Amino acid sequence: MIGRSRHDAGQAFPIYVVMVAGLLFLVFAFFAVGKAAALRNGAQGAADAAALAAAQQTREDFGDPFLASLPGNMLEQFLQRRVVTGCPAAQGLAAANQADIVSPGGCKSTRAGYRDRITVNVKGRKPVDSSVIPGTKNRYAKATATAIVEFRCPTWKALDFDDDGFQDLYIFKCTGVGVVEIAPGSPPPWSEVSKSLYDVHLVDN
C-alpha cells in the first residue's frame, strides 16, 4: 500500500508542475494585459493634455493680431486667416506625460468657418515588454486626441462714433457668455477677453 501511494504521488507530480506553470503563465499574461491597458490610458491622457495645450496656446497667440486688426476694420479678415501656433506646446505636455508627438503629421489643424480643429497623435515612451506575449518588447501605446478652438461670438457690430473710418467700439454677442465689448483705442488685456471670445474643448475623434 505504501509503495502504491508513493507511485501515485510520483505520477501526480508532473501534473502539478504543469498546472502551476499554467497558472503562472496566466498571471503574467493578465499582468501584461493590465500593463498594456494602463499604458494605453496613459497615452490617451497625454494626447488629451497635448491637444488642449495646443488649443490653449493658439488662443493665447491670437491676442496681438486680433486686437491689431480692430482699428482697421479687419476683424472679418483676421477671423478667416488666423494661424494655429500651439503645436510646440503640445509636444511639451506630451513629454511631461511620458509620450511624444508622432511625426510626421503628429499635430495638425483644419479649419471650418470660425472653428479650428487641432488633432494630436502621440506614442508612449514605455513599451509593454511582456516576456510571455511575443512581439511586445517594441510595442508602444498610441493615442489620438482632438481639441477645438472656436470663436463663439458670430454676431457683432462695430461703432464708429466720429465717422473717421476707424472703429471705436466692437460689441460681441457670445454664446454662453453674453455681451463682450472691446474698444480698439484702449483694448482690455487679452487674457480677460480671450476665454469669452474663444471656447477651447476636447471632442471625439
- Asked if residue 26 belongs to a domain, the reply is yes
Q: Is residue 48 part of a domain?
A: yes
Neighbours of 50 (CB within 10 A): 33
Q: pLDDT (tens digit, 9 = 90+) per residue, 3-58?
A: 555 555 556 656 655 665 556 565 555 656 666 778 888 999 999 999 999 999 99
pLDDT in tens, 58-83: 999 998 888 888 777 678 888 888 88
**Is 177 within the bounds of a domain?**
no
Provide the phi-psi class of 178: left if phi over 0, else alpha when psi is between -120 and 50, else beta: left
Please name the amino acid found at residue 202: L
Structural domain contains residue 101: yes
3-class SS string, 83-108: CCCCHHHHHHHHHHCCEEECCCCCEE
Compute CA 17 distance to the chain's CA centroid, rounded to the nearest angstrom: 48
**Residue with grid cell 498610441, as numbered in its chain:** 142
Residue 204 lies in a domain: no
Domain annotation covers residue 141: yes
Range of the domain at 100: 2-149
| Domain contains 16 | yes
pTM of the predicted structure, to 2 decimals: 0.78
- Are 138 and 178 in contact by the 8 Å Cβ rule? The answer is no
Domain count, the chain: 1
Backbone angles phi, psi at 139, to 5 degrees: -105, 125
The DSSP bridge partners found for residue 198 are 151
User: Which of 34-48, 83-97, 124-138, 147-161 has the weakest average pLDDT?
Assistant: 124-138
- Provide the mean pLDDT of the chain: 82
Q: How confident is the model at residue 171 (pLDDT cuts 50, 70, 90)?
A: very high
Residue 157: inside a domain:
no
